[in-house]
Structure 1
Amino acid sequence: MTDPVPEQRNAGDPPVLEARDIVKRFTGVLALDRVSLSLRPGEVHALVGENGAGKSTLIKVITGVHRPDEGEVRLAGRPAGFTGPLDAQRAGVQAVHQEIGLVPDLSVARNLLLGREPRRALGLIDTRRMHQEAARTLESYGVRVDVRLPLRSLGVGAQQMVALARAVSVDARVVIMDEPTSSLEPREVETLFGVIDRLRGQGIAVIYVSHRLDELYRICDGVTVLRDGRVVHQGALADLDRLRLVSLMLGRDVAQVRAEGVTRFSGAHEAAGEPVLEARGLSSRHLLDDVSLTIRPREVVGLGGLLGAGRTETAKAIAGVLPLDAGGVTVAGLPVRRGSATAAVRAGIALLPEDRKAEGIVPTLSVRDNIALAALPRLARAGVVSDARIDRIVETFMRRLRIKATGPHQPVAELSGGNQQKVLLARWMATEPKVLLLDEPTRGIDVGAKAEVQALVDELAEDGLAVLLISSDLEELVEGSDRVVVLRNGAVVGELTGDELTEEAVMTTIAAHTREEVA
């Protein structure tokens, strides 16, 4: 049975936004092939598809980043012809991207009101009024912070809400939300859904891009499914059950999708031998408090906990990226120099970071150069690196990880998110690591790419790696891990394994400690 969805609003109204027969090519690759989309006032429309299906390209055409080779975008019945994102914003088409496009060194208030700051006589910014307006606006979105502080001082979830508040507070007619909940805690997600309902009531249309099916069925009216740059389905989301939606995205029949279980790890790895990784007493002021864990070969250990519990900080501490006040790490019984990323890599520790855009890929380099980057010291002979050797390694990992690209010299920035994630994984596999730290490896990628990454993790664990898995998706965490260490406020509050390792048990472990702290 399909979950209930909001009643579609204003179905008889003329479209506020239309994309008509959009065609877009990049260096001979057909990214969009006669794609059309119609959006009515007050409608929340899901845009879904695998990575590489054309979602990002369509959004960039709608917002003026790309000009279509054929077709047109129309706003309120008239050709839009946006010359760039700023032109689209002025017309009321706002986009909130997964990667927060704000200025981290400016204050929260300046980010929120940038270009629209209240002014006094002689054109000077009225700072007091700006702070008051910013605080009032953010409070309506459930964000209560000191708006005078630099944006970078906020958590990722709060920054995302600032970006959203900015987008919808500038006379928006259409708001495009690209994976808006990827960095939000459950409380913030509920606030976001309340904001979307408010936009609905104001007649503002929303294009909602997410790989989280629960969210889509909860808040979206209509749906457009893209595959390989083409529209394969459009209609009311209520008329499409979840399994059928997944099968449309993947281009496989429902029976095949059901048989393959596209969103699950295989789980249950047979750990063997002494621990390859031991982290003891990791402590960093305000971040980590005496965190300890071990991982054996062929074992996947999950880190559970709410956002801000210390999961990412633990991975970074193990990888030598986060400075420590106390504690240490050993790999295969040998100590790793504390606070040294170089020493960690040499010891066989590889970290796949949470934010692949900011901390992972180098967008100006090719797929080949991104893969080879970490392995160059190992490949050098007397300071000279053989191009032929690099080519062999790159070819091997592109084939093994099934990276979809026109070739090794294609700019990595042109790849879909899922394939960029595979490039990062290939980079670290080329270093022949002993320990693989995966921080949200499937965040922001679609169900098909997620299944491929999960299968790769299983394969690597079976090959003998020790794997640390961080995921905000409880199902992914439980199904993909042999043990789960639960964190809260930077400290270990429990460890679950065997039959006791369930989603409910993870949540109960967190909740029990929450109640104790409140008491």
Structure 2
Amino acid sequence: MNQLTSPPLRHTTAPVLQLDGITKRFNGVHALNGVRLSLQPGQVMALIGENGAGKSTLVKTLTGIHRPDAGTILLDGKAVSFASPQQAMAAGITAVHQETVMFDELSVAENIYVGRHPTRGASGRIDWAGIEAAAEQLFARLEVDLPVRARVRDLSVAQRHFVEIARALSQDARVVIMDEPTAALSQREIRELYRIIAQLRAAGTAVIFISHKFDEIFEVADSYTVLRDGQYVADGQLADITEAELVALMVGRSVHNAYPKANVTIGAPLLEVQGLSHPSEFDNVSFTLRRGEILGFYGLVGAGRSEVMQALFGLTANVRGTVQLAGQPARFRTPNEAIARGLAYVPEDRQQHGAHLSLPILQNITLPILSQFGFLLRPRAEARLAGRLAQQLELKAGYLTQHVAELSGGNQQKVVLGKWLATQPQVIILDEPTKGIDIGSKAAVHRFISELVADGLSVILVSSELPEVLGLADRIVVMRQGRVVSEFSRAQATPESVVAAASGVALANVAELA
């Protein structure tokens, strides 16, 4: 039950915001598909879903970053369309993000009124005294002690959030979206944020609250809407539902028969990690990867999974702990050392860190092993290797000299996979290998992952898609807030138990709710 106020009343006023049939595609892939939502004044609604459920795309659509391909946004009953965040903000919709975007060298007051400074008289000069006085009134209304002349660069994360909330209030925001606002806050700062949310609700401002933490959801919100795979699933009052039932709505699908899984005999330990720690990213991470095994890593936003993998690959400094590969010490200071020992890492962001979009397919695939071709490259040998891997990966391209930028997202990912397979690794780390690619390409990547272990490789699969990790992994390691919190065998893992561990929710007999 909501602990900030008495049990929430059923809303009977007209909605301030309604969405009907909101659809958004990227390269033919549905990020949102027919989403609907209704929000009343003074309502705090929790927007709930797994990673990849469409929450971020919906926020960007509401705030004018994306324009929907189909559907209607109604504000106070009138259809609206935003071509920019400025238009959305002027209409009364604003967002407070986990990572705030401000002008660090400007003062608090200047950030609140940036782009719309009030002026004095016919001279048109900026009314600096008026700006500061108005900012002070906003913080007095929020009951927050924050000097309006302070530089934003000197503020804490919580104080930056308060500045964004003040900016929203200065524009008479009707809807405030809070996207993982507590991720980097202390408990004291979180309680302060809760108090401000209660103030917004009392003043009639509607709030969309996005969080993976169920304790926060039940404490701060009075209603919920659940998205799954870009689609609306359910909505209702939080007083009428349990944490277990919400988890079941989030995951709600059978997965094991939907993914190819080669019958491979799991061998001896190949990669052994003990007490891997970093001062700010993760702490005391230990796990073992066996020969011929797919080891899944699951966790919510900020769990630290990618940071651990980057550290293993030699991309991170100041890391403590021990690593052994094939029985030998294997703490890599650089990616070159990791590659030489048979470790490959396919990063989450294929366009920024995985592929060179301006280079041809052929050169992308052979880039990590150029030294094998000598100083004067042997084009035929390069072409044979690239051709073999392209065929194995079912790459759809006109020719090997085609630039990677011209390929679909799924085929770009196949090029990145081919690039690292060319190094002939013992262990391959796949970080979100199917993120943002179409269903057909996902199926091809899933088949290929299964084939990798059948051919003798060991795979670490980092995925925010629960069906993917449940369907492919032999074991699943669950991380939360930089630590390993649970490990499940394939037989033990259920959608509910894995999400519960990742969320820090204690659920009794949750499987019965599926």
- Counterpart of 1:391 in structure 2 is 390
- Counterpart of 1:150 in structure 2 is 153
- Counterpart of 2:486 in structure 1 is 479
Q: Does the alignment pair 1:38 with 2:38?
A: yes
Task: Please give the TM-score of this superposition, normalised by the length of structure 1.
Answer: 0.58
How do 1:500-511 residues align onto structure 2 when only pairs under 5 Å count?
A: none
Opposite residue 210 of structure 1, the aligned amino acid is: S
Answer with 170-179 or 124-133: which moved more.
124-133
- Report if aligned partners of 1:278, 1:331 keep a CA contact under 8 Å in 2: no
Provide the rounded CA distance (Å) in 1 between the counterparts of 2:366 and 2:160. Answer: 34
- Counterpart of 2:58 in structure 1 is 58
What SS does the aligned partner of 1:115 have? coil
- Report if aligned partners of 2:346, 2:354 keep a CA contact under 8 Å in 1: no
Opposite residue 11 of structure 2, the aligned amino acid is: A
- Report if aligned partners of 2:105, 2:153 keep a CA contact under 8 Å in 1: yes
- Report if aligned partners of 2:18, 2:39 keep a CA contact under 8 Å in 1: yes
What SS does the aligned partner of 2:66 have? coil
Measure how far apart 1:206 and its partner are: 0.8
Q: Does the alignment pair 1:408 with 2:408?
A: no
Change (3 A) 1:116 1:7: farther
Opposite residue 231 of structure 1, the aligned amino acid is: Y
Correspondent of 1:377 among 357, 368, 372: 368
Deviations 1:227-261 (A, max 9, x none): 34443322222222333333333334xxx79xx9x
Provide the rounded CA distance (Å) in 2 between the counterparts of 1:358 and 1:181. Answer: 29
Provide the rounded CA distance (Å) in 2 between the counterparts of 1:93 and 1:134. Answer: 22
Change (3 A) 1:377 1:166: farther
Opposite residue 180 of structure 2, the aligned amino acid is: E
Opposite residue 64 of structure 1, the aligned amino acid is: G
- Counterpart of 1:511 in structure 2 is none
Q: Does the alignment pair 1:49 with 2:43?
A: no
Equivalent residues, number: 423
Opposite residue 148 of structure 1, the aligned amino acid is: R
- Report if aligned partners of 1:40, 1:205 keep a CA contact under 8 Å in 2: yes
What SS does the aligned partner of 2:207 have? strand
- Counterpart of 2:337 in structure 1 is 343
Opposite residue 175 of structure 2, the aligned amino acid is: V
Measure how far apart 1:218 and its partner are: 2.1
Opposite residue 224 of structure 1, the aligned amino acid is: T
Opposite residue 471 of structure 1, the aligned amino acid is: R
Deviations 1:331-367 (A, max 9, x none): 66457675x45435544566799xx67997679969x
Opposite residue 238 of structure 2, the aligned amino acid is: L
Provide the rounded CA distance (Å) in 2 between the counterparts of 1:173 and 1:206. Answer: 9
- Counterpart of 1:206 in structure 2 is 207
Change (3 A) 1:11 1:104: same
What SS does the aligned partner of 1:478 have? strand
What SS does the aligned partner of 1:479 have? strand
- Counterpart of 2:176 in structure 1 is 175
Opposite residue 337 of structure 2, the aligned amino acid is: A
Opposite residue 472 of structure 1, the aligned amino acid is: Q
Measure how far apart 1:93 and its partner are: 0.3
Provide the rounded CA distance (Å) in 2 between the counterparts of 1:149 and 1:21. Answer: 39
What SS does the aligned partner of 2:387 have? helix
Opposite residue 435 of structure 2, the aligned amino acid is: Q
Measure how far apart 1:435 and its partner are: 11
- Report if aligned partners of 2:47, 2:224 keep a CA contact under 8 Å in 1: yes
- Structure 2 residue ranges without an equivalent (≥5): 257-265, 396-407, 416-431, 490-500, 505-514
Task: Please give the TM-score of this superposition, normalised by the length of structure 2.
Answer: 0.59
Q: Does the alignment pair 1:220 with 2:221?
A: yes
What SS does the aligned partner of 1:207 have? strand
What SS does the aligned partner of 1:180 have? coil
Opposite residue 343 of structure 1, the aligned amino acid is: E
- Report if aligned partners of 1:361, 1:420 keep a CA contact under 8 Å in 2: no
Change (3 A) 1:248 1:330: closer
Measure how far apart 1:223 and its partner are: 1.9
Provide the rounded CA distance (Å) in 2 between the counterparts of 1:311 and 1:141. Answer: 35
Provide the rounded CA distance (Å) in 2 between the counterparts of 1:212 and 1:292. Answer: 22
Change (3 A) 1:127 1:144: closer
What SS does the aligned partner of 1:184 have? coil
- Counterpart of 2:198 in structure 1 is 197
Q: Which structure has the bigger radius of gyration?
A: 2
Opposite residue 190 of structure 1, the aligned amino acid is: R
Change (3 A) 1:21 1:187: same
What SS does the aligned partner of 2:236 have? strand
Q: Does the alignment pair 1:20 with 2:14?
A: no
Provide the rounded CA distance (Å) in 2 between the counterparts of 1:420 and 1:203. Answer: 38
Q: Does the alignment pair 1:87 with 2:87?
A: yes
Opposite residue 390 of structure 2, the aligned amino acid is: D
Seq. identity, %: 34
Opposite residue 59 of structure 1, the aligned amino acid is: V
Change (3 A) 1:44 1:143: same
How do 1:485-500 residues align onto structure 2 when only pairs under 5 Å count?
A: none
Report the aligned-residue RMSD: 6.0
